Structure 1
Amino acid sequence: MARWTPFPHAGDYRFDVASVKNLWSQLHFGDAEPCPHDAAVLQAWALYHNGEFEQAAAAGLGAGGPGITVANKATAIYANYLEPKERTRLDLFMQAAERAQAQAAQEPANANAWYWHAYALGRYSQGISVGKALAQGLGGKVKNALETAIALSPRHADARIALGTFHAEVIDKVGALIGGMTYGAKKDTSLQLFQEALRIHPGSAIGMIEYANALVMLEGEPKMQQATQLYEQAAACEPRDARERLDVEMARVELEAD
């Protein structure tokens, strides 16, 4: 496979094992990942937070164990933000989803194994179209995995964001009646999940962005002003690492386009 597209701000973040360990709670407020003890896994995380996603994925796979989570996150985040070829993006999402599924089978109490399975499968579903994904039965798998992640890790803000997005996108695609009856998707549940996520992690730029998108999908024009305000808040966030930088820049680009 071709080399991954580099993070556009290479060198702006210079994490190492010591700084990642020291700042762990801040860097992982969203995914509630436990701080690993293995120096090789911490090094993989340092590469990830620096935006060296390809190297982070390789290092995580090489370390094994909790390093698989680094590999899955690096792969999924790279595919979502930086990979320009759609076919490659979808392949990377499926790689991460399958690895995370295997990890969850081996470690059923690992919340982030379930989360990254759901995240990667959800992004894959968006890539092939939500309607097609629902027809293939992927929606139920995403929903179940996210609910499992939250049950295992009650302060998992990112899982709430993803599950809130699931409810909103299903309703947007098939309507509230069919969405509720067939897929268990509910508008109130979606909005509550976003509100809970932002209470847990108030500085989450991606939480603000996805909440804004959900408001527009679920409420339409009456919520456009609130959605714009959420994008403005996301754009004003101070990113702590490469992934957060990508979120903040995405918000800024969207505002400029409007």
Structure 2
Amino acid sequence: MPTLNPSSSTATGKATRPDHLVLRLMTADDKQEVAGLFAETFKREPLGEYSGVQLSEGMSIAEASIQDPVSFVVEDTKLESPHRLVAFRTSCVYTAEKLAAKRKNVEEHGSSNPVEAILNRMEELWLAKTTVFKSNPEAKVMKFIALGVDSRYEGLGLAKELLNAAMDKAKEMKCDAIMVVASAFATQHLFKNRLGFEEMGSVRYSDFVWKHEGSEERPFETLLQPEFLEVFEKKLTMESA
């Protein structure tokens, strides 16, 4: 399995990641570990902290993240298998055809839980505003699905490296844009103010209505910090030209 940047460094030459922490593409064999790490780390996100996280949700994320070779993990080679993964950045690639199929599935079957429902709502807001597919019906958009870093490995720059690897992969695959839903203040600030993403829509958590089995619920009525869930897009066509 090829690895990326087995030892990263800053401009001063100071190492930011020890050599035993290896960044590589995610494979199908990583699904169980990614699912477990997602279930653990998503508890620290506003939606996860508010609603709780099940391992089955992590497995759904992992399954979606191996459809295209665009997701990355960091493993600690000093640890014993099968518990070596310490960070991940999962993604997938959307086309107009894939989005149409997903929308049809949601219309027919609905969302299985309120978190899935609000995330689907964010995709609808993005689709209503994006011009990517209007200008190019064959466009590809990378969706950043989730990021997680084991709390014992924070402060080593792993999240930044995973982000850079994912963005580089999007350009390598000639994606026209990147889309991401950000649930926390820190990630919203990062994408909007530091990475040049455009805000494409937002939903106030407390106002969100989930229509489920003939009833209407406000599952996040008391989630007030942050106030909004936001979706962002960054066009890559001009950058890679």
TM-score by length of 2: 0.31
Q: Which has the higher strand share?
A: 2
Greater RCO (Cα-Cα under 8 Å, separation 6 or more):
2
